[in-house]
């Protein structure tokens, strides 16, 4: 089914673990504020609904999506978070700037996952226009912030399952 036919935030699969024992960082871009603030609010709402404690969530802003990588690295280095959710929006324009920013941010966040061995969640919208961004930040296609929060919890649950298996001798 194409994304134009459904709410993308209706996540299927394994049930969500209670997030009460996890610590989260959220770094979000101020650029495209109407969209990114909705993403941040969606992520916060979802984490709290999953049992995360408000005092275990650190939220920081960066000027634009390009700065998400360094902002996320700061969260990893200067706080004790288990997962970091990176939220931004880069709307396609008339120049190749879009391509360079999207590529840099995707690679940067991927590298942080590997460097720190913890989930850094890519919650960056890359729509063709403002309406698509609105549709994916609380509109008809759900909220990518919700999806990013769910992904963070699921990745922490996965890591926890490996740690439990190792302690059992697997």
Catalytic positions, please? 97
Q: 104 and 67 in contact (C-beta within 8 Å)? A: no
Q: 118 and 157 in contact (C-beta within 8 Å)? A: no
> What residues have CB less than 8 Å from 149, skipping those under 6 apart?
24, 42, 43, 44, 46, 47, 50, 85, 121
Token pair 């966040």: residue: 109
Q: Is the dihedral of CA 109, 45, 135, 7 positive or negative?
A: positive
> What residues have CB less than 8 Å from 55, skipping those under 6 apart?
none
CA–CA distance from 31 to each of 16, 91, 138 (Å)? 31, 10, 17
DSSP state of 51: T
């Amino acid at each position: 089914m194409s994304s134009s036919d459904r709410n993308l935030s209706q996540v299927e699969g394994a049930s969500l673990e209670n997030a009460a024992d996890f610590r989260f960082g959220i770094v979000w871009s101020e650029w495209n504020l109407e969209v990114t603030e909705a993403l941040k609010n969606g992520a916060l709402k979802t984490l709290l609904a999953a049992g995360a404690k408000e005092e275990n969530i650190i939220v920081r802003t960066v000027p634009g999506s390009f700065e998400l990588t360094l902002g996320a690295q700061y969260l990893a280095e200067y706080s004790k978070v288990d997962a970091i959710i990176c939220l931004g929006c880069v709307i396609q324009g008339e120049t190749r700037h879009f391509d360079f920013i999207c590529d840099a941010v995707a690679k940067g966040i991927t590298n942080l996952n590997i460097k720190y061995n913890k989930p850094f969640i890519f919650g960056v919208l890359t729509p063709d226009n403002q309406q698509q961004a609105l549709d994916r930040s609380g509109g008809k296609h759900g909220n990518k912030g919700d999806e990013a929060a769910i992904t963070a919890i699921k990745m922490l649950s996965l890591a926890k399952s490996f740690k439990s298996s190792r302690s059992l001798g697997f």
